[in-house]
Structure 1
Amino acid sequence: YISNVPAIAVTCVLFLFVAMVALGTAYDVARSYRSSHKKPSSSRSVDTTMASNEGLVNGGSSGDGGSTFSRSVLAFSALTNGAKIFNTSGSKEFIQVIHGLRFFSMAWIILGHTFSFSKQWITFRNMDDMLVIHKDIITQGIANGTVTVDTFFFISGLLVVYVTLKQIASSWTRSRWVQFYIHRYWRMTPLMMAVIAFCAVLLPYCGDGPRWKESVATYDLTCKANWWVNAMYLQNFIHRTDMCLNHTWYSAVDFQFYVISPIIILALHRKPKFGLFLIAILLLGTTSFTAFYTALYDYP
């Protein structure tokens, strides 16, 4: 029983979140239903009723959001959040081409990982054929699929600079820089910690088979020991060989870029020409370093 305590604790926490989502969704439906069935009391009743009905469809997002309690509960509503996630009507100020970049980059990443996992788990009749396939021009996009991640770095950096520069131009104080970091950390960390807890504690109970224990042993060992490194976003520097959730290296690098992004943002805001010059120097420096490192260690 003692060995199952972590699994029981994580299960209780996950069920707590599920209960909060159920409560928020039920409150959202009840609130929208009650608003849509109010008796007309003024000449504005028709408009109010139409807005309430629209709120029921859009997950109760109409209106001013109500009290702090109401907004807090609606933050867990599946209707409200679902309407936001599946909303395709973007602002005119938003860079629409980013959606296309995301789609094609994600499709490329999925294709590359599918091929990579196939090499690890599928038995081939002739392994020598794999070496021949890599030389084919058609498979070069798969073999060099790692560069697709650069697209997401580009999108992340572009949006951070674009949005923050607009906010600085309108209203910005020094205290906002603290919020700048806290908001990013709060957006990324809880979900990653929940995934780590699930993989380290509950995943062994979710499957079976000849190689199941071998497959989940990595999560059991690395995540229980090194979860704190992920919480600090230093897994690409500390415990790299026994990283908890190998794919979270991207989250670490993305967060580190975010930490130093104010240098570029402030340079572009105060002296745009100097900011562009700084970006050019950074691009030239990182490209030169990559070329030197590749030649030094004779990488392909």
Structure 2
Amino acid sequence: MDLQNAFADPFHKALNSLPLWMDLSDSSYVDSDASSTKVNDTLLRYYLPSPNSTGDVTDQCRWDVQQILNAQNQEALDYLIARDRFWPIYLADSWGKIPDGMLSGNLMPLGMMEECTHLAVKEDNQYVNATFNGQYCFVMYGQNGPPIYEQGQGYKRQAKQSGRGIIGSIPGHIPNLFMGGASSYGTCMPDSCSPDDFKISLNEVLPEGNEAFWVHCHTLDETQVWEAKDYAFMIVMGLIGFLVVLAAAVDLTINYLGKQELRKGPARYLLVFSGYTNMSKIFHINTKESPTSIACLHGMRVLSMTWVVWGHQFAFTMGYVENSFAIPYYFRDVLGQTILNAQVSVDSFFFLSGLLVGYGLMRNKDKMDLFNFIMFYIHRFIRLAPPIAAMCFFGATVARFFATGPIGESTYLMTMEFCNRNWAHDVFFISNLSQQYCLGQTWYTSVDMQIYVLVPLMFFPIMYYRKFGTVWLMLITLVSCIIPAVISEIYKIPLGMISVPQDKAMDQGFLLYGGTWSRMTPYIVGLWTGYLIYRSNKKPIKMESWQVTLGWVTACIVALLVLYGIYPYNHWNKFYGFDRIPDQLVSDIYTGLFRGAWGLALMWVVIACHSGYGGPVNSFLGHPSWQPLSRLTYGMFLTHIFVIILIVASEFRLKSLNHLSYIVETCGTLFISGIAAVLLSLLVEFPVIGLEKLLLTRTVSGGERKSEIQKESQNKI
């Protein structure tokens, strides 16, 4: 067997596979003899700009492609291989071809980018005369164009597809032929050919109505083009980083000299940037127990963030798996249902937010005056907005430099590119209403801020007029349950995620998932919890053993029913498919109650742990080791989706969909997000909070006093 046969003739193998599958015409390869250079021009154009193109393809590109064709002649191949020059084989071998597992959903043949970009051709002989480097290109073509072309309409267009479930509507999904979207694959061509050269040639032979809309190319020595905004980001972050290091040096010098009085002078405005002090604050562990602190919240916060990241790890990568047809079956077991129903992990954060705000307000209700009322809002904005702005700045500028894989540029354009024009929606907390995002997760902070604005209306009555306020808050709680149930009935939205028809997916996403009016219940339950814990500090809760047991059993049953109770309607059933839809009344009741029920289960956990009835649960959730990670959850919340997207955008191969892989990837995302969160805290979050403490104070009886209301009502994600 000669070497050419050992390599299985990748050039002709490629022409006989992927182009025939993707081309809707009846054209086919004419001569399968490897010694012939006679190829069907239509099929060739799926991989290379044609020398025969009637369009404006550059002469150098035409020449180099012709040399590639010349090199496929058996005599030329024998000549080159005898001299250890295998580039004609490597070039075709790197092309995307019909992959294994097509019937399992392996529908994005990326080829081998690194094999292509490492090619360096320099030939001058009787067969080939060419000098070029390998250039890998990711190609997408279809009839409707990519989602980026209609900003804000991409998901709507996908929602018009037939069928049920979340397939095809998850952000970050690159469509393919069998999901009603574009065909996508990888090819390798000379670097003398531009993306436009390839588009012109390919568009001349594509079936009617199709168009090549994305050709993104990479070479080994390519350089990124820096824009003014990129320099601005690096200058701003560089200056802040310099202040962090300088302040740390001053901080350590003061400690060394023992002149602590210097901290009260002008140096205090610099010391808020100290990386030394702020790092100590992040990783400080307080082992002293306090009757007014709620220790179990640290563990709850970290575990909830882990659950959020786990769910997003799946949601933002499911379009890049080699067994995509297995996605519906991925949810059939306990782990799959835990991921599919991860939206209640977000309700945990709404609950925690309401608890901290309510508890803080109750502790400082006697100090509430006009100044503290104003600071109640100002502090919240200052606390949340600057880190969001910093991440939007990153997404709109240098983030694209980290997307280095075959689908890097496409992934960036479908996600972070929106930061250039949508950042204000995130920073000013309206992204859930406008449906325009830079950071997709900021729908949560928008909802949280909008509820926060309404807190005085909901909670102040119970702070000062207990009987009337109790009735008022109960009424608001009831209304918060009724609203999503009514929306579910009016728009006929089934419960769960999979059983939702795709023509209802947008209604579910905007009205029920991201609508402030539908996410208030766990926040209000948190307010109730904060109120009850404050009262229990003055009058401790006493319970009998049977009451404690009943409480824990009931809370566990309620939580499990919320999480797994809709399993019959929330997975692909081999007998019913996606058509096992619950009665609308069942959907309405579940939609109206499940978020509040989840909040009640968490309420029991917090009250029981804080009152001394938590046992091993409180020992676990309240362990001091959770504290550093708990302080980083807001930073991790803001950074983790970028981490997920940039990792996907830098990978060279599709991944396999299985639980073990996703658990390992989630651990990696948590680790990298944790590092990014530390940097975000040191550069933005802690300095801003420190400056606020210095600047937003007022003089009381000749001394300075910080607003206690805004201190106690702060909430960390």
TM-score using structure 1 length: 0.82
- Paired position in structure 2 for 1:287: 481
Question: CA–CA distance in 1 between the matches of 2:494 and 2:252?
Answer: 58
Aligned to 2:322: 123
1:297 counterpart (492, 502, 509): 492
| 2-structure distance, mates of 1:153, 1:65 | 41
Q: Secondary structure at the match of 1:99?
A: helix
CA offsets 1:200-246 (integer angstroms, 9 cap, x no match): 111112331211111111355422112222222111112x0x42211
* CA deviation profile, 1:95-131 (whole Å, cap 9, x unmatched): 112112112211221222223234222211x61x322
The residue aligned with 2:419 is 223
**For the Cα contact (< 8 Å) 2:458–2:472, is it kept in 1?**
yes
Letter in 2 for 1:113: H
Cα distance in 1, alignment partners of residues 427 and 412 from structure 2: 21
Which residue of structure 2 aligns with residue 234 of structure 1? 430
Amino acid at match of 1:20: L
2:437 pairs, out of 238, 243, 260, with 243
Shift of 1:135: 3.1
2:329 to 132, 157, 162: 132
- Find out whether 1:177 has 2:361 as its counterpart: no
Partners of 2:402 and 2:487 in 1: CA distance: 42
Q: Which residue of 1 aligns with 2:276?
A: 79
CA distance in 1, matches of 2:262, 2:293: 24
Assess, with a 3 A threshold, how the Cα gap between structure 1 residues 91 and 260 changes in structure 2: closer, same or farther: farther
| 8 Å contact kept, 2:426–2:446 | yes
Distance 2:388 2:289 in 1: 29
Within a 5 Å distance, the mapping from 1:54-203 to structure 2 comes to 66-89=263-286, 92=290, 93-124=292-323, 127=325, 129-169=326-366, 171-203=367-399
Aligned length: 269
Contact 1:105 / 1:151 at 8 angstroms: preserved in 2? yes
Higher helix share: 1
Name 1:60's counterpart in structure 2.
Answer: none
Distance 1:3 1:119, change over 3 A: closer
The partner residue of 2:247 within 24, 44, 59 is 24
1:8 to 231, 256, 263: 231
Distance 1:258 1:65, change over 3 A: farther
Equivalent residue number for residue 266 of structure 1: 460
Whole-Å separation in 2 of the counterparts to 1:207 and 1:221:
12
Q: Using the alignment, how far apart are the partners of 2:376 and 2:355 within structure 1?
A: 16
- The one-letter amino acid of 1:115's match is F
Describe how 1:14-53 pairs up with structure 2 within 5 A: 14-35=237-258
Amino acid at match of 2:340: A
Query: CA 1:162–1:68 in 2, change beyond 3 Å: closer, same or farther?
Result: farther
Q: Cα–Cα, structure 1 residues 231 and 130, in superposed 2: closer, same or farther, change >3 Å? A: closer
Structure 1 76/120 Cα, relative in aligned 2: closer, same or farther at 3 Å?
same
User: Contact 1:165–1:265 (CA<8 Å) still a contact in 2?
Assistant: no
Once the two structures are TM-superposed, the CA of residue 250 in structure 1 deviates from its matched residue by: 0.8
Going from structure 1 to structure 2, the CA distance change for 1:211 and 1:188 (only over 3 Å counts) comes to same
Relative distance call for 1:100 and 1:65 in structure 2 (3 A) is farther
Question: 1:256 deviation in Å?
Answer: 1.1
1:2 CA displacement: 10
Task: Write the deviation string for residues 35-93 of structure 1: whole angstroms up to 9, x where unpaired.
Answer: 0xx8xxxxxxxxxxxxxxxxxxxxxxxx7883252322221112211222222216611
CA distance in 1, matches of 2:262, 2:374: 26
| Alpha-carbon distance in structure 1 between the residues aligned to 2:348 and 2:328 | 28
Q: How far apart in 2 are the matches of 1:158 and 1:64?
A: 38
Structure 1 pair 176/67, CA: closer, same or farther in 2 (3 Å)? same
DSSP 3-state at the match of 1:98: helix
Q: Please report how far the alpha carbon of residue 137 of structure 1 lies from its aligned counterpart in structure 2 after TM superposition.
A: 4.0
SS in 1 for 2:267: helix
Partner Cα separation in structure 2 for residue 106 and residue 134 of structure 1: 21
Q: Which runs of 5+ in 2 are unaligned?
A: 1-223, 496-717
Structure ranking higher on relative contact order (CA contacts 8 Å, 6+ apart) = 2
- Conserved? CA contact 1:10–1:201, under 8 Å: yes
Aligned to 2:576: none
Give, in angstroms, the shift of residue 269 of structure 1: 1.5
Whichever residue aligns with residue 244 of structure 1, its letter is C
Matching residue's letter, 1:139: G
Counterparts in 2 of 1:162 and 1:78: CA distance versus 1, 3 Å: same
Which whole-Å CA distance do the structure 1 matches of 2:493 and 2:344 have between them?
Answer: 19
Q: Quick one: which amino acid aligns to residue 310 of structure 2?
A: L
Compare CA radii of gyration and give the structure with the larger one.
2
Once structures 1 and 2 are overlaid, which stretch shifts more, 280-289 or 183-192? 280-289
Residues of 2 paired with 1:153 and 1:185: CA distance? 17
Offset at residue 279 of structure 1 (A): 2.4
> What letter corresponds to residue 155 of structure 1 in structure 2?
L
Cα 1:107–1:227 change in 2 (3 A) is closer
Q: SS of the residue aligned with 1:158?
A: helix
CA contact (8 A) 2:458 2:476 kept: no
Amino acid at match of 2:492: Y
- Report the Cα distance in structure 1 between the residues aligned to 2:373 and 2:270, rounded to whole angstroms: 28
Amino acid at match of 2:297: I
CA RMSD after TM alignment: 2.3
